[in-house]
Copies of this chain bind each other. A is one copy, B any other.
Amino acid sequence: MNEPREKYFSNLSDRERAIFEGGISMGALFHQFTGTPVSLETADGLESAISESIKLQPAIMDVEVHIDRDMIRKTAGEFGYVSLTGDMLSVRLTVEHGSERVTVRMEYLEELRYPLMYIED
């Protein structure tokens, strides 16, 4: 770990670094891809493209993305597709730095009426 960027992170533990990178990537995912047109036919391909692009980011080992097909079905308007929103998304990021690994989740929680991002144990 003697890459030039590492000097910027000497004030973080491995666990803090994994939490930070996981937060960045979850915020990125939400704000990059919400708004994308999606239908029942294209949901598989969009899930893959989201996963592949977010896996490029630092410390991200794995990305599972699920787009809720029932919500597409229920909210699709006359044209058969919807704009992707946060409440259709369920995401799990596996993030590793040094010897530490954390799992970052996003899911829409009815009780909060909010797509919550949190660390899953």
**Which chain A residues have a beta carbon within 8 Å of chain B's beta carbons?**
3-5, 8-9, 11-12, 15-16, 19-32, 34-39, 41-42, 45-46, 48-49, 52-54, 56-58, 75-81, 83, 85-86, 109, 111-114, 116-119, 121
Contact = CB atoms under 8 A, between A and B. Distances in A.
Contacts of A29: 27, 31
A52 B56 contact: no
Given A56-B81, A116-B5, A116-B8, A30 B35 contact: yes
A38 B26 CA distance: 16
A31 B23 contact: no
A117 B12 CA distance: 13
Nearest to A81: B56
A22 B24 CA distance: 8
B111 A4 contact: yes
Contact of A36 (B9, B21, B32, B76): B32
Most buried by B among A41, A53, A111: A53
B78 A9 contact: no
A11 B118 CA distance: 10
